[in-house]
Chain A
């Protein structure tokens, strides 16, 4: 290969690499997952996470799982949470143990958690929810660690999600309806800048 051709292919490869994060972001799978509590915005998180796996290793509830290649090459070995499988109990240990600050260290107090944790927000599907269909349930309210702050119940135990919901997913985990009538809409996609 001549030097000029080599340089040309090198520039082309570099250009391709430079735009590839945007391509990946556009083609992201619809797989719904959360990042651990206190994680930075998705772009910043991927830039800071060194894939050490300590957040998963410290998690007492075995909530945190790790990606293989299913979410694209840039999030291989990064932590994620699927709340229906195992939800976050807001113990905040993962932030304490994260060496790079990709997951912020947050004290385990209500105000600090309300202020810093934005994993997502719960949303109720009223056509599936037992209480909204007239069969008194209220399980999601009872599972919530932030009762009357993140979720409130009305007549027939009908759940109303309030704007302070941090998205821990304990309501989704505990919902007795199949499929679940309450689920967390991840905040991650909203803060993604790409």
Chain B
């Protein structure tokens, strides 16, 4: 009997929207240092004394921001900082890891800062580890890196695809916090790629040279490329660990609709975090990135609002295993 296959749903396009947001966040992080330079040029009141390349920056930024601001020195201060801690149109937002590290290191509660993580924390409790897939500027580079790795594999370059224990990152989170507390200096900031990227982009554009974080970040890229696919995010990232813990009982979950699944396993292959959608293995580390939804040929993956994962529902009803099983029982 031929079962009807659902028509492609609009949820498939969420992955494109996600890429749009990732690109947007990354380009804002590139743009902000240039805006900072423009502001300093304006503050200096000396356009004629600028070097030719500085004049290009001045003119470009003036052209870009003129429609929105009357006083660039003051008005452009509304958007500052990075995803680690930033000001977005006057609203201060911080990474929960930044807040947790600051509490652990200073051993005190500074409420004006803690409250800046309120919106991200609430959003993570509802949406899960969405930061990792939808906003993180490091994910932007890591996913491009992953695409590069796929091309290289196709071209026959042997790349490592090791699998480690995903719980390593929780140890790194705890270790990083304890180390920060003992050293009296926030160490998690130095090993957290999104924080590094924001800083390093600012250093290289506005201060003229990369800092030490760039070396660390290049090492993580090489680790991802040569040792383990998306290895840093999957096994090592302390921020990802914290987001996973916060999103453990998230409301919005991608779940498998067993009636429409044909066991093709594309979801497992595409999953950036090495999860197991095919056997309902989403867990706390799913970041709702929707890559599996986009790739599923039979639209068997849907969003559901519930605080727990379904237990393994057996093989998909459109697949061979289920058909054989059915014919076996009917005999």
Contacts and interface: CB of A to CB of B under 8 A. Distances in A.
A52 B110 contact: no
B190 A77 contact: yes
A129 interface: no
Interface in A27-63: 43-44, 46-54, 56-62
A65 interface: yes
Bin chain B's interface residue count: 35 or more
A54 B81 contact: yes
Contacts of A59: 40
A53 B184 contact: no
A36 to B, nearest CB: 15
User: Which of A53, A75, A93, A100 is most buried by chain B, counting CB atoms within 10 A of its CB?
Assistant: A53
Given A47-B185, A77-B211, A99-B94, A52 B43 contact: no
Given A68-B212, A100-B102, A77 B189 contact: yes
B184 A52 contact: no
B211 A66 contact: yes
A46 B180 CA distance: 10
Contacts of A62: 40, 206
Contact of B84 (A50, A58, A65, A97): A50
A50 B85 contact: yes
B112 interface: yes
A50 B86 contact: no
Interface stretch (B118-126, B129-137, B194-202, B284-292): B194-202
A100 B183 CA distance: 18
Interface residues of A, number: 37
Interface string B261-305: 000000000000000000000000000000000000000000000
B291 to A, nearest CB: 30
Contacts of B213: 77
Contact of B116 (A48, A58, A93, A99): A99
Contacts of B241: none
Nearest to A78: B185
Contacts of B84: 50-52
B72 to A, nearest CB: 11
Contacts of B73: 60
Nearest to B32: A57
A51 B40 contact: no
Contacts of A60: 39-40, 43, 73
Contacts of B43: 60-61
Contacts of B189: 50-51, 77
A106 to B, nearest CB: 15
A60 B98 CA distance: 26
Contact of A57 (B36, B94, B106): B36
A52 B82 contact: yes
B183 A53 contact: no
A52 B86 contact: yes
A125 to B, nearest CB: 30
A48 B33 contact: no
Contacts of A93: 77
Interface string B205-218: 01100011100000
B307 to A, nearest CB: 31
Nearest to A105: B112
B251 interface: no
Interface of A: 14, 17-18, 20-21, 43-44, 46-54, 56-62, 65-66, 68-69, 73-77, 93, 97, 99-101
22 contacts: A17-B182, A17-B183, A20-B183, A21-B184, A47-B184, A48-B106, A50-B85, A50-B101, A52-B85, A52-B86, A52-B195, A52-B199, A53-B199, A54-B80, A57-B32, A58-B77, A60-B39, A66-B199, A74-B183, A74-B185, A77-B199, A99-B113
Please list the 8 inter-chain residue pairs (A to B) with the smallest Cβ-Cβ separation, ordered nearest first: A74-B185, A52-B85, A60-B43, A51-B189, A47-B106, A54-B81, A46-B185, A17-B182
Interface of B: 32-33, 36, 39-40, 43, 73, 77, 80-82, 84-87, 92, 94, 98, 101-102, 105-107, 110, 112-113, 116, 179, 182-186, 189-190, 195, 198-199, 202-203, 206-207, 211-213
Given A54-B85, A54-B87, A74-B184, 15 more contacts: A46-B185, A47-B107, A48-B106, A52-B82, A53-B81, A53-B199, A57-B80, A57-B206, A60-B39, A73-B183, A77-B211, A77-B212, A99-B92, A99-B112, A100-B102
